[in-house]
Chains A and B, each alone.
Chain A
């Protein structure tokens, strides 16, 4: 074959590959023109898996189909974000029309890639003023750059769950409100046993289940991004203060290695063998689910709940906490978006539906009306988390184009600090800022 012929063949091959590759990309529906009153079947994927949770979903769907007899909902549970993402990209009849995900950190990615449809036009068409329906913080983590591609479906508030019996034994009369009180309480509650512990006041290391850097940073009121959209870890002294305080606590409770060795004896976070249930840990940074879970697991002590402590200089803000939750959206590729919106609207904005679901799975309701509903079952323990959810200074981690990659970069740095591998925290944070900005620029 002449040289030009070979080149032509190669070019044609490359062009064919490009065309094929392009043809394989997901396509969004241009507009939602489907008739919401037509008979349709919606595929709804969610992540809940416990029998009580799936039953709560089924009950909610049953109430929905009673009100919308033309819409059949096929529910698939126990779906991870990886599976959801793959299905959304693959598209087709079997792909979900409506999706619920636990990972609020993915919202920026969902919105930025246009995986989910923007719900603003649907909200407008239905006359729903989102600012009057949802708390401000929840709206923050369900949208990105004005694209409200998801809505909150219940949420989680993070606070302190503690062993009241252990508190009494250590002579502590009330939950700590400031970080120095917290450190003191954690030390009093720690009982060494040989090279290990009989009980530790708190597992302060960042692999200790929900003791995430993001949860603690919220107590310091840290701001992740500056007004210019650039990463602000070095710019906001709150991050360095939080990391220093956590490292100090790690050292005071026995040091990183000893604590990590003890942490490795712990059971699964979602099992009955959670160390808090067994009395191995006296205080636990956790969500509203921990106290009922501990009771269900047969914890042999009295349980108390409180907001997480705040830094001493911010004592007036005691009561705030970190908020996160479940989100719900409509697949951009769905051809039944108007019908899908009916389901999303019902699940996320209907007070009765939200309250019934919150009562069934012990999560914090995600609408302002549901938070105040008299039908909401409120125990004293649960009230703590409702109050954290209502606190004006409670915060979340903002949505970003790279999903939660920026949080992982921050976490990675925090692991180094708690281990004692970082000599210069501000310099390290500045380096993390650079990495975060690079990653976000690439994702945009």
Chain B
């Protein structure tokens, strides 16, 4: 048996098939799993009140957060390739936040965006702009998480920067001779050249968004005032389930409610969604690369 096949069987096929098997069982980790047919599936899709909000939030994050992150990462990448003086300082400044641990970064953002005392709202108030509730307002919590994701865009900046510096200069020169403006050069030279990198950024961004767990959980808990203490239960998603994501449900069902069967159903839904997005994007990537060639 080839090593690849062993690895595939142990690390992919077995966990996947086990998850599928447990999704049809009632299993709490103590008693033997017992077959319960489609009960877990029907519970998740019709009776579990947190499932559809989590699906909607996850899709929102995939659509909005990933788009914003890729666009912002590309923008910052372009900016730091254009800067003539002090480029090292700018690159470092944009990259540093990426190194902050996610929990620490989230705590800092909850502090910065505190609706009552945070500097962000103090500044907005000073210039006469409305002051949102950020992590305490269901309409603003996901934009606040997006702002946090943009702050840590250093990884994408580095990748885009490398791709942008790799675009052959002669193509720009030829385009300039033909009278192409900055916008036309970006559209017809830069974008096609870096399209594989954009596709990479989108695919990895979608996977990250589908696995988004620590930041929304920490932000929700801190904003709700539930940090720890004497046996407090906490239902993730504060405020109004707006920061609830599918990975949080998997943890909540599997490791807090100890309903492994139902957790497996959500895990499989997450897997199916990830596969669907990835397949779709890989097909699009083929098109993008084709455009660049």
Chain A residues in the interface with B (C-beta under 8 A): 13-14, 17-18, 20-22, 25-26, 28, 47, 81-82, 85-86, 88-89, 101-106, 109, 113-115, 156, 196, 207-209, 257, 260-266, 268-270, 287, 324, 326, 332, 402-405, 407-409, 411-412, 415, 435, 438-439, 442-443
Is B255 within 8 A of A86, CB to CB?
A: yes
Is A265 within 8 A of B29, CB to CB?
A: no
Chain B residues in the interface with A (C-beta under 8 A): 14, 17-18, 21-22, 27-33, 39, 43, 47, 49, 114-117, 133, 136, 223-231, 233, 235, 238, 240, 255-259, 262
What chain A residues lie within 8 Å of B22 (beta carbons)? 21
What chain A residues lie within 8 Å of B227 (beta carbons)? 268-270
4 A-B pairs with least C-beta separation: A102-B231, A103-B231, A265-B116, A89-B29
Is A156 within 8 A of B230, CB to CB?
A: yes
B259's contact among A85, A106, A156, A442, by CB below 8 Å, is which?
A: A442
CA–CA, A402 to B74, complex, Å?
A: 48
Is A18 within 8 A of B21, CB to CB?
A: yes
Q: What total of A-B pairs shows CB separation below 8 Å? A: 122
CA–CA, A294 to B227, complex, Å?
A: 19
Is B235 within 8 A of A264, CB to CB?
A: no
CA–CA, A407 to B256, complex, Å?
A: 14
Is A264 within 8 A of B43, CB to CB?
A: no
CA–CA, A438 to B259, complex, Å?
A: 14
Knowing that A21-B33, A269-B227, A435-B47 are A-B contacts, what are 15 other residue pairs whose CB atoms are under 8 Å apart, sorted by A's residue number? A13-B17, A21-B18, A25-B27, A25-B33, A47-B231, A81-B231, A103-B233, A209-B225, A260-B133, A264-B114, A404-B233, A407-B233, A408-B235, A442-B39, A442-B43
What chain B residues lie within 8 Å of A415 (beta carbons)? 240
What chain A residues lie within 8 Å of B21 (beta carbons)? 14, 17-18, 21
Is B116 within 8 A of A196, CB to CB?
A: yes
CA–CA, A402 to B257, complex, Å?
A: 7
**B234 shortest CB reach to chain A, Å:** 8
What chain A residues lie within 8 Å of B29 (beta carbons)? 25-26, 85, 89, 113
**B45 shortest CB reach to chain A, Å:** 13
Is A85 within 8 A of B258, CB to CB?
A: yes
What chain A residues lie within 8 Å of B116 (beta carbons)? 196, 261-262, 264-265
What chain A residues lie within 8 Å of B39 (beta carbons)? 442
Q: Which residue of A lies closest to B256 (CB)?
A: A82
CA–CA, A268 to B258, complex, Å?
A: 29
Is B30 within 8 A of A332, CB to CB?
A: yes
What chain B residues lie within 8 Å of A287 (beta carbons)? 230
What chain A residues lie within 8 Å of B231 (beta carbons)? 47, 81, 101-106, 324, 326
Is B115 within 8 A of A261, CB to CB?
A: yes
Is A269 within 8 A of B225, CB to CB?
A: yes
What chain A residues lie within 8 Å of B235 (beta carbons)? 408, 411-412
Q: Which residue of B lies closest to A271 (CB)?
A: B227
Is A208 within 8 A of B225, CB to CB?
A: yes
A113 in contact with B17 given A102-B230, A270-B228 (CB within 8 Å): no
